[in-house]
């Protein structure tokens, strides 16, 4: 049979195939070839009719894969940040978006807990997202704001929810698909960061169509695999301004740079450009080491 891996724990892989979930182990040859099955993998399995347990015997070619969280064959990433409690870490948001472009995913940004944004402090972030342009949704699981809109983004897609702890990913999933009963953690009083409630990546089938990966929240993110020359292509709004005077222009300190000119003229959002430079400098520093 063929199916999709929905969860992997302790060397066991749970495969949704033929309207059943089968507990499987991977054949030894995968370990020999240094291949690790991932959540989201389409696989072929052999199942014992008596025990209903089986083995993964083949992994189909992946269209993409993420390393953190470790999932494969994703259509889109829903990047969830809270408007407040905790405040949006703009630098981390930028890295999530760059990584989504690097992997080749459709990007949807979800600003959750929007009911707490009484002073409309998220407006600069919304303006930045409109300028790229990236799709974004404002939600509140508590007050059911934007839930129907988010459902429409998820319908028919395999999506991964990503973002820091405390942003409300599990609360949103519970609102979107009642009956999941995902565990929700409280914010740490000392750090105002969320406690980790999701311990492993798991592919969840949604009642209205589509699947979503609920993943452990995390607050650190590295882009070490990206070459500094490639970074400019991961900012979609830069693309029509890349014909600078120098072909090797990194849009940093070089003269007659069309990207910098576009920033000065307001055609590229200044927040985005500042974070492009920040990420570029990090990559250049990593290269020296």
Residues spanned by CATH 3.40.50.300 within the chain?
66-214
Residue 167, annotated as binding a ligand: yes
The response to whether 168 counts as a known ligand-binding position is yes
CATH of 66-214, one of 3.60.15.10, 3.40.50.300, 3.30.360.10, 1.10.10.10: 3.40.50.300
Strand-pair partners of 26:
56
pLDDT at 199: 52
CATH 2.40.50.140 occupies which residues in the chain? 2-61
CA distance 75 to 243: 31
Measured between alpha carbons, how far is 77 from 98 in angstroms, rounded to an integer?
A: 12
Residue 164 annotated as lining a ligand binding site: yes
* Topology of the domain covering 231-288: Ribonucleotide Reductase Protein R1; domain 1 (1.10.40)
- Ligand-binding site membership of 24 (annotated): no
CATH 3.30.360.10 fits 2-61, yes or no: no
174 is in an annotated binding site: no
Structure tokens at 120: 């409309």
- pLDDT at residue number 177: 82
Rounded Cα distance, 135 and 137, in Å? 7
165 among the known binding-site residues? yes
Indicate the pairing of strand 76-82 with strand 158-162: parallel
- Nearest to 78, CA basis, from 130, 139, 23, 17: 139
Bridge partners of 76, per DSSP, are 106, 159
- Residue position matching structure tokens 């003229």: 265
41 carries a ligand binding annotation: no
Residue 8 makes CB contacts below 8 A (sequence gap 6+) with: 14, 37, 38, 39, 200, 201
The per-residue pLDDT for 204 is 87
The answer to whether 163 is a known ligand-binding residue is: yes
Give pLDDT < 70 ranges for the chain: 68, 179-199, 214-222, 288-289
169 labeled part of a ligand binding site: yes
Give the per-residue pLDDT at 162: 83
Tokens coding 132: 């790229």
Q: Give the span between the Cα atoms of 262 and 269, in whole angstroms.
A: 9
- CA dist 251 and 232 (Å) reads 8
Q: Report whether 20 belongs to an annotated binding site.
A: no
Question: Is 115 known as a binding-site position?
Answer: yes
Pairing of β 42-47 and β 2-9? antiparallel
On whether the CB atoms of residues 283 and 222 are closer than 8 A, the answer is no
Residue 166 assigned ligand-binding role: yes
Which residues of the chain form CATH 1.10.40.50?
231-288
State residue 174's pLDDT score. Answer: 86
Sign of CA dihedral 104, 110, 111, 112: negative
User: Phi, psi (5° rounding) for residue 150?
Assistant: -65, -40
CA distance 286 to 275: 16
């Amino acid at each position: 049979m063929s199916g999709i891996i929905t969860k992997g724990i302790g060397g066991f892989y749970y495969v949704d195939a033929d309207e059943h979930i089968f507990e499987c182990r991977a054949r030894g040859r995968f370990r020999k070839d240094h291949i690790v099955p991932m959540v989201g993998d389409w696989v072929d399995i052999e199942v014992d009719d008596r025990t209903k347990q089986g083995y993964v015997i083949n992994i189909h070619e992946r269209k993409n894969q993420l390393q953190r969280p470790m999932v494969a064959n994703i259509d889109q990433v829903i990047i969830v940040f809270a408007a407040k409690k905790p405040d949006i870490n703009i630098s981390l948001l930028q890295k999530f978006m760059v990584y989504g472009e690097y992997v080749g995913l459709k990007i949807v940004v979800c600003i959750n807990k929007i009911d707490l944004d009484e002073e409309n402090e998220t407006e600069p972030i919304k303006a930045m997202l409109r300028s790229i342009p990236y799709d974004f949704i404002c939600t509140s699981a508590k007050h059911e704001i934007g839930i129907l809109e988010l459902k429409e983004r998820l319908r028919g897609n395999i999506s991964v929810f990503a973002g820091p702890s405390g942003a409300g990913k599990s609360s949103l999933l519970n609102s979107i698909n009642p009956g999941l009963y995902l565990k929700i953690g409280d914010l740490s009083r000392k750090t105002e960061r969320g406690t980790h409630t999701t311990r492993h990546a798991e592919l969840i089938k949604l009642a209205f169509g589509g699947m979503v990966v609920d993943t452990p929240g995390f607050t650190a993110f590295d882009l070490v695999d990206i070459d500094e020359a490639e970074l400019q292509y991961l900012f979609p709004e830069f693309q029509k301004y890349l014909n600078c005077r120098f072909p090797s222009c990194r849009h940093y300190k070089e003269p007659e740079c069309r990207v910098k000119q576009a920033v000065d003229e307001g055609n590229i959002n200044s927040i985005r450009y500042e974070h492009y430079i920040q990420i570029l400098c990090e990559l250049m520093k990593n290269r020296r080491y």
